[in-house]
Amino acid sequence: MTTLLSLCFVFAAAAKKPPPIPEAAWKPGEAASAASKAGNGATYAPDWPLSEASFREALAVEPNCGMAQLGLGRALVMQSRVAEALVPLSQASRAFPEQLDTHVWYARALFEAGLPAEAVVEAKAALTLKPGSVEAQTVAQRALRAEKRYAEAHEMVAAARGVANAVAWDCFDGVVYALEDRLGEATKTSSRCSGSPDPELYRELTTAIMEAVARAEAAAPPPEPEPPAVAPVAPKKRSK
């Protein structure tokens, strides 16, 4: 009798247990598919609040869906809510290290959250997957510049030139040259950078050059004062 009662309690407890959380999967399953598709559609609109709501709906039924974690994190970053974005992006980056975008967006969130050193680490993880990624290199360069790691920034651009040909490399090098007050070299990159598909990179370079010019002018010694003008002396009249 006691054994039968014990078994009944076991079965009753098992019946009340919540359903097991599904294992991490990159693509959404059937339960989260519609919400995830709506989130992706809102991303292209773009409608970031709708994208956020849709991916939250997907994660409510499939909390370990990597694509939905990335989508939510991206929507939060684009709404300047980087502190909130760190959680889903960190989860996606750790669970799916083979996915380039998880590292790129996590690196971006870390940088915008004021964590440049951590952003460099994450951006380098993305560059390990795709050494010629302009998106990953953009985050890495901004983070390295924030830490004044200029030599390392140049080294990363040099490595990128070895695997891909992109106008962005000139933009990155130029900004670092300007920060190093190497105006001649920075100016040389300007014409090449003007053709970048991302106009923000060219704006960064021109701003950096103008700031370098302002620093140079401020550091220049003041001009020497001109000597006072001497009034001409009228010739003396000769006495007759």
User: DSSP secondary-structure letter at 65?
Assistant: B
Residue 168 phi, psi (nearest 5): -55, -30
Distances (CA, A) of 15 to 18, 19, 73, 153, 221: 8, 10, 35, 58, 83
pLDDT of the residue at 5: 41
Q: Which two tokens stand for residue 218?
A: 């401020």
Q: Which two tokens stand for residue 46?
A: 């773009």
Give pTM, 2 decimals.
0.81
> Is residue 11 very low, low, confident or very high in pLDDT (cuts 50, 70, 90)?
very low
Q: Average of pLDDT values for 144-152?
A: 98
Q: Average of pLDDT values for 176-185?
A: 97
Question: Measured between alpha carbons, how far is 60 from 73 in angstroms, rounded to an integer?
Answer: 15
Tens-place pLDDT, residues 64-114: 999 999 999 999 999 999 999 999 999 999 999 999 999 999 999 999 999
Q: Tell me the torsion sign for CA atoms 189, 191, 195, 198.
A: positive
Which of 78-87, 189-198, 218-227 is predicted most confidently? 78-87
pLDDT of the residue at 178: 98
Residue 162 phi, psi (nearest 5): -75, -15
> Helix, strand or coil for residue 173?
helix
pLDDT of the residue at 240: 58
Quick check: bond before 232 cis, omega within 30?
no
Judge whether residue 1 has pLDDT over 60. Answer: no
- Are 201 and 190 a contacting pair, CB within 8 Å? no
80: left (phi over 0), alpha (psi -120 to 50) or beta: left
pLDDT of the residue at 77: 97
Rounded to the nearest 5 degrees, what angle is found at the Cα of 183, between the Cα atoms of 155 and 138? Answer: 40
